[in-house]
Amino acid sequence: MIFASVAIVAGLLLLVWSANRFVEGSASTASHFGMPPLLIGMVVVGFGTSAPEMVVSALAASQGNPGIALGNAYGSNITNIALILGITALISPIAVHSQVLRKELPILALVTGLAAWQLLDGEITRVDALVLLGVFGTLMTWTIWQGMRKKEDALASEIEQELDVRALPLRRAIFWLVAGLLLLIVSSRVLVWGAVEIAQGFGVSDLIIGLTIIAVGTSLPELASSIIAARKGEHDIALGNILGSNLFNTLAVVGIAGTIHPLAVGPEVFNRDMLVMAALTLSLFVIGYGFRGQGRINRIEGTLLLAAYVGYTLYLLSTVFGQA
């Protein structure tokens, strides 16, 4: 049991570190081969920051642990909104611009509704997974087309400056691209093994482990980038980072895992976790529209989001101890 606990901690630390190296290496490599900074930000970094969730869920599905695969994806969404946005708003209130309310949030709400509908029959089949991946591919294509069409030079230069994509020589960039990806896989295997051992040892479902420990661990890159963006006053990046991550988790992470192996879903996933995820997503509309002027996620609302996360986590723990 001690060895499994060490494996979880070491796996999470290595997972976050290797994800950063993978993003750095892939962004630098893409820059050397002439990819525009805007595309690097949208595609390479977008995939890279969600790589922990993707790799962990894919490995969990391939090993027959659907609870970890789904718990990691949906738990990360809950963590992103309630915990990460809550902490970020406490540090620096986040302005919610009208574009987010008109485009990003409605898309996320519709995608959440699609995910909930797929859970009704108690299974995410390969057909369901392919539908999720198809929607994700369509959204990515549309987003890239919109970004290139608008030629947002200011955003492109900001991304290039933020990433410092030419800081690495090509050989070193390729090295970290490959090494980061391999370490992502290794750390994910260690993490999943430790989580399964802990779950079996304490008689806890792997779904609970995925919703809590693994979800928080794989969301650490989003936490770091959102706090940094909020402190710099870049509210669009702080909020967009969370919304984009939730879209990726719901569509790509679950889609990839379900394609590898169909995911059996217990009724509690829909009745508890999906409802919490949907309620938190809809709460962003209420917060975003505000009651006076431009919507803001202020410190009071950040505290409420944190309280929601604490309450949800305590409820999960109560179900564990109630079964003991």
Predicted local confidence at residue 324, as pLDDT: 53
Tell me what pLDDT residue 109 has.
94
Among candidates 199, 222, 183, which has minimal Cα distance to 82?
222
What pTM value is reported for the model? 0.83
CB 253 within 8 A of CB 50: yes
pLDDT of the residue at 34: 72
Predicted confidence at residue 295, as pLDDT, reads 72
DSSP per residue, 3-54:
HHHHHHHHHHHHHHHHHHHHHHHHHHHHHHTT--HHHIIIIIHHHHHTHHHH
171-186: buried (b, 16+ CB within 10 Å) or exposed (e) per residue? eebbebbeebbebbbe
Q: How many domains does one find in the chain?
A: 1
**251-269 pLDDT tens trace:** 999 999 999 999 988 899 9
Amino acid 39: pLDDT: 61
At 53-107, the pLDDT tens digits run: 888 899 889 988 888 899 999 999 999 999 999 998 898 888 777 677 778 889 9
Predicted pLDDT of residue 148 = 66
Domain that holds residue 42: 2-323
Written as one letter, the residue type at 164 is D
Tens-digit pLDDT profile for residues 141-170: 887 777 666 654 444 444 444 444 446 788
| Percent of the chain residues topping a pLDDT of 70 | 85
Q: Is the pLDDT of residue 30 over 50?
A: yes
Cα 246 from chain centroid (whole Å): 5
pLDDT of residue 154: 44
Q: What is the pLDDT of residue 314?
A: 94
Q: Among candidates 299, 267, 297, 295, which has minimal Cα distance to 280?
A: 297
Identify the CATH number of the domain in which residue 288 sits. Answer: 1.20.1420.30
- 3-class state of residue 164 by DSSP: coil
Q: Is the separation of the CB atoms in 259 and 136 below 8 Å?
A: no
